[in-house]
Amino acid sequence: MTQRRLSEWPRLAAGLAAVAAVTAGCRWLGVVNAATVSTTFLLVVLVVAATSRLWVALTVSAAAVLCFNFFFLPPLGTFVVAEPQNWLALISFFAVSLVASNLSAVARARTAEALGRRDEQARLFDLSRDVLVLPDSRAALTALARAVSRRFDLEYLAIALPAGDTWEISPAGAEDVTLDPKQLAAALAAAQTTLEFDAYSRTYAGHRELTADGRAIRLVPLRVGTRPIGLIAASGRPVDPGTLDALAGVVAIAIERANLLQERKAAELTRQSDELKSALLASIGHDLRTPLTAIRVAAANLRETGLPPADRLEQSDLIQAEVERLARLFQNLIDLARLDSGAVARETRRVHPSEIVAAAREQVEHLLRDHRLEVTVDPDEPVRIDPRLTASALAHLLENAAQYAPAGTAIDVRAGVVLDRLEIAVRDHGPGIAAADLPHVFDRFYRGENARARTSGTGMGLWIARGFLAAQHGRVWADNAAGGGAVFSIVVPAADHAAPADDDRGVAD
């Protein structure tokens, strides 16, 4: 006996008790009018029919007919009906009770059906919202299967997509079921026939049932338009076939959406790659041409026999500067490749902030010849960081300041340890950064309009600096100084910053 039928027994008992109470009350009050008694019994039957299932109402109705006949229709105390008019009253009472019970049962069934359809629509709506937040990756199928299983309270739900000779199955639910690939292939082949709609079940052709691991599994085709792309396998509570078809449609749309998002991501990555390649080639072509031209001219001048010693030294210095510039460019390319491939490893040890500044200054010494570097380190306490990555990042900031600040101006560097982190600020006395360029100065190959007009460059340096700091969980940002110029600030988390400086090896670059 089902749980639902068990829940009706209290209503049956209450109905029979009401019939007994009406009988006893009418006998005690001396009510003998058949019309009054039958109307009272009919009221009880109608109340039971409105609140219970049909079998309960019919049972109560039969009990009311028997009590009406036995206690109120002459001859009393028997189930014999002597007069024809009493037969008519008894039959009319029973017919009215039967019709009322049936109408009430039909109304209750339709109400339950309407509530069920409302719940299914709400589940479909909730699932549609889940589809909008699915990840745009292959994990979307598993997340989608879990969402369907959860929303529809299914013990087992699997999304099966053909993958060549095999099937890609994404299961969800509490049950563990093994699906037969041959049965899946047969169901998909059947779904590829002429698409027909069954108006009675409100489904399209292709629904199938199979047994797997002792469980009844319903297979429903996933269609994009009229083309079947896979199957869903469902098991558990009964779900209306039309709802299953609508569910399969939502799942098919979700799969198509995930595929489109992946294709769009791939297309976006390809577009960005092409843009980066074009920008890199353009920047490198420009930055290579300038020093090579200068080296070629200086080398030709050195071949002149009558060149004064001072001019010869000047040309030699020019060649050395341009060679260092080329070396810096190639180092940037190597760093760029390392960051893209994720090959930047963090190696921490204890160093002083002053060592970081000195190592960075040494890397770009040739670029700082036209500037005064004013360094303030307070306090110069040892910190545990990666000195190579930090010094390289600071070198890029110094290089940037030297490029965009007028010759003869000072570049201020302030460094120190605050709590558990190293803080460094580099300020130049140049024109500053345009407001429109501030959000983009650390983008790869980005150079503002003022920067492109004033000096050459690839736009890689600040991006590389940010990458080196990110590898240490540090950060860098830019702003304009109150008195003019730009300020670039570095923060690198440090451990053991108060430990004694027992490592005097300095900064290796």
- pLDDT tens digits, 46-65: 788 777 777 787 788 888 87
Residue 178's pLDDT is: 83
pLDDT at 418: 87
Residue 166 contacts residue 227 (beta carbons within 8 Å): no
What's the pLDDT score for residue 490?
93
- Please state the rounded mean pLDDT for residues 250-275: 78
Lowest mean pLDDT among 69-83, 189-203, 256-270: 189-203
Cβ-based burial of 197 (10 A; exposed 0-12, middle 13-18, buried ≥19): exposed
When comparing pLDDT for 80 and 199, which is higher?
80
3-state SS class at 153 = coil
Least confident of 48-57, 152-161, 195-204: 195-204
Q: Is the peptide bond before 431 cis (omega within 30 degrees of 0)?
A: no
Residue 431's contacts (CB-CB under 8 Å, 6 or more residues apart) are 404, 450, 484, 485
Please, how many CA atoms are within 13 Å of residue 292, restricted to the half-sphere of its CB? Answer: 7
Reply yes or no on whether the pLDDT at 337 is more than 80: no
CATH label, 344-493, candidates 1.10.3720.10, 3.20.20.110, 1.10.10.10, 3.30.565.10:
3.30.565.10
Residue 423 has pLDDT above 90, yes or no: yes
Cβ atoms < 10 Å from Cβ of 133 = 8
Look up residue 495 and give its DSSP letter: B
CA distance 221 to 233: 9
- Residue 182 to residue 198: CA distance in whole angstroms: 26
Question: In whole angstroms, what is the distance from residue 294 CA to residue 316 CA?
Answer: 11
Higher pLDDT residue, 81 or 18?
Answer: 18
> Residue 58, Cα to own-chain centre: how many angstroms?
55
Q: Which of 430, 439, 390, 385 has the alpha carbon at shortest distance from 412?
A: 430
Residue 81 in this model has a pLDDT that exceeds 70:
no
Residues 6+ apart with CB under 8 A from 301: 307, 311, 315
- More reliable by pLDDT, 350 or 246: 350
What is the pLDDT of the chain when averaged over all its residues?
78
With cut-offs at 50, 70 and 90, classify the pLDDT of residue 502.
Answer: very low
**% of residues, the chain, pLDDT over 90:** 10
Cis peptide before 379 (omega within 30 of 0): yes
Q: pTM to 2 decimals? A: 0.47
Give the best-scoring range by mean pLDDT among 244-248, 321-325, 445-449, 476-480.
Answer: 476-480
Written as six digits, the tokens of 343 are: 């090959």
pLDDT higher than threshold 50 for residue 508: no
Question: Between residues 208 and 412, which one has the greater pLDDT?
Answer: 412
User: pLDDT grade, residue 505 (50/70/90)?
Assistant: very low
3-state secondary structure of 82: coil
pLDDT digits (tens, 9 = 90+) for 432-470: 888 888 888 887 767 665 555 555 555 677 888 888 888
**154-163: strand order across its sheet:** 166-172, 154-163, 227-236, 215-224, 208-212
Place 106 in a pLDDT band, splitting at 50, 70 and 90: confident
The reported pLDDT for the residue numbered 280 is 60
Class of domain 274-338: mainly alpha
The residue-averaged pLDDT of 219-229 equals: 83
333, with CB counted inside 10 A (0-12, 13-18, 19+), is middle
C-alpha distances (whole Å) from 202 to each of 235, 239, 246, 254, 482 are 20, 13, 10, 22, 72
Residue with tokens 């292939």: 185
Burial class (CB in 10 A: 0-12, 13-18, 19+), 142: middle
- Would you state the CATH architecture of domain 136-265? 2-Layer Sandwich (3.30)
Q: Domain residues of the chain, as ranges?
A: 3-117, 136-265, 274-338, 344-493
- Does 506 score more than 50 pLDDT? no
Long-range contact set of residues 134-137: C-beta below 8 Å, sequence gap at least 24: 134/254, 134/257, 134/258, 135/258, 136/258, 136/261, 136/262, 136/265, 137/258, 137/262
Q: Which range among 28-32, 80-84, 254-258, 426-430 shows the weakest confidence by mean pLDDT?
A: 80-84
Beta-bridge partner residues of 413: 375, 426
The whole-angstrom distance between residue 508's C-alpha and the CA centroid of its chain comes to 43
The answer to whether the beta carbons of residues 393 and 468 sit under 8 Å apart is yes
